Structure 1
Amino acid sequence: MCRGTLSYRRISRKSLTSGDDEEEWYLVDAHIKLWFYSTCDLELLQIISSDDCTAKDLWNKLDGFFRNNKMSRMLQLQYQFCNTKISSSSITEFCHTLKNLSDDLKDVGSTITEIKLGMQILRQTPPCYHNIVDVITNTKPFPLFIKAKNMFLLHESREATSDSFI
């Protein structure tokens, strides 16, 4: 094995042969733990770390933490995605929220297609947007998320401009 090359054996401390190898292992382990400590959320680190844990222990606990709540997180995000309404926010904020929820769902293994994302905008808009909803619904092919968002933004800016003339 080349000096400085990381392998599963080195990270898990298997088959170390000499004191130098063990010292090198502790150094590599400390560097990896430092990386964990500098990149993970402090509250999460408090949950997964202990005084005598190795980098591999941290990784296993972190992996277990996220895998254990994957399904409940997916259900929560799907509920939020399906029930997020535009209410008093702008189209931009509303679409940003939906896109973030879609990205979060993808991270837990539930992909939302661009068309479903566009359809969700249509489902959750209030009656003042029904004209543009009709236009988008009858557009062939059905517009992807970005195009639908831009159509809503254009409608929103026209409505704001026409209100200022009254």
Structure 2
Amino acid sequence: MPTSPATSPSQSSSTLAPTGTSAAPAILVAPYATISVKNHIPVTLELAKPNFNQWEPFFSSLCGKFGLLSHVDGTAKANPTDPAWAIADSYVRGWLLGSAGPDVLGLAAAPNQTARELWVAIKRLFEANKAPRAIFLGHEFHSMTQGDSSINDYAQRMKATADALRDVGRTITDSELVLNFLRGLNPRFAGTADNIADSHPLSDFATAREKLVLKEVRLTNEGTVATQTAFHASCGIACCTISSTTSDGSIADRHGGNNDGSSSGGGQGGGGGRWKKKGRGGSQSRGGHRPPALLVAP
């Protein structure tokens, strides 16, 4: 049975043209048309940080997934007359525009650029003035201290500065990073820092950070326990003295009374303990032995 045009496996409704008319031109759809650049490049390229070395691996990986690295590294000649090349180049240029910050695009972007031209302009921004930037970043790196910040915050600042130095051609080795990291620590981590520095071989940066974070947790816990102990001890001392006010406005202090109404000194009288009443006429004792009364003749 012959196959009808409507059911032919070699044809589809999108390619069929009405009878008596010429066929519509084929629509070229790239396999990366639905790519969201933010899902593949979570880092925004910025001059203020700067973070080119952190951003570049994400961008190169995205281009490599679809075989488009030649559009930025210059390994293939540009071919704007080829529709397939032009579409691919537009996507790569769009990824650059979508993953760079306004400060970068304001200096690097221009009308009618190819992806390669935009890439070169962006890279030039981060490679300019390498010598003076290396001096300033080197001073910042070697004078950095932890202060009151946490170990993780301090480690992030140290690593970001080391990455910025790498951007300007000054590579920081891992051992140099570790030793500089230990140098700027808060003095309360001195013991742990000495242990890390004396280890052979020297711990890498990630391991050193993990050891110091663990020490930080222990110190925080010990400080919390000490504070709670001091608080309970002060409460116990404060509760040893009970003060009350009598009906006539004088102050009565009770010392050493027991819960059962007896006095620690064995005194007599109801209520237990020894009460000292302080009023305008001096002090008056109640409980225990009373002094004999004085009789005065008229």
Partner of 2:221: 161
1:28 Cα offset (Å): 5.5
Partner of 2:119: 59
Give the unaligned 5+ runs of structure 1. Answer: 14-20
Q: 1:149/1:8 Cα in 2 relative to 1: closer, same or farther (>3 Å)?
A: same
Partner of 2:138: 78
1:12-161 paired onto structure 2 within 5 Å: 21=81, 30-161=90-221
Question: Normalization by structure 1: what TM-score?
Answer: 0.73
User: Higher strand fraction: Structure 1 or Structure 2?
Assistant: 2
Aligned partners of 2:93 and 2:204: how far apart in 1?
43
Aligned partners of 1:33 and 1:23: how far apart in 2?
15
Q: Counterpart amino acid of 1:8?
A: K
Aligned partners of 1:136 and 1:54: how far apart in 2?
50
Q: 1:42/1:132 Cα in 2 relative to 1: closer, same or farther (>3 Å)?
A: same
Partner of 1:17: none
Give the unaligned 5+ runs of structure 2. Answer: 1-67, 71-75, 227-298
1:150 Cα offset (Å): 2.3
Bigger relative contact order (CA 8 A; separation at least 6): 1
Would you say how many aligned residue pairs link Structure 1 and Structure 2?
154
Question: Normalization by structure 2: what TM-score?
Answer: 0.44
Aligned partners of 2:201 and 2:90: how far apart in 1?
55
Aligned partners of 1:9 and 1:105: how far apart in 2?
33
1:75 Cα offset (Å): 2.9
Q: 1:156/1:54 Cα in 2 relative to 1: closer, same or farther (>3 Å)?
A: closer
Bigger Rg over Cα: 2
Q: 1:88/1:29 Cα in 2 relative to 1: closer, same or farther (>3 Å)?
A: same
Aligned partners of 1:147 and 1:30: how far apart in 2?
43
- Aligned partners of 2:127 and 2:167 also within 8 Å: no
Identity score, percent: 25
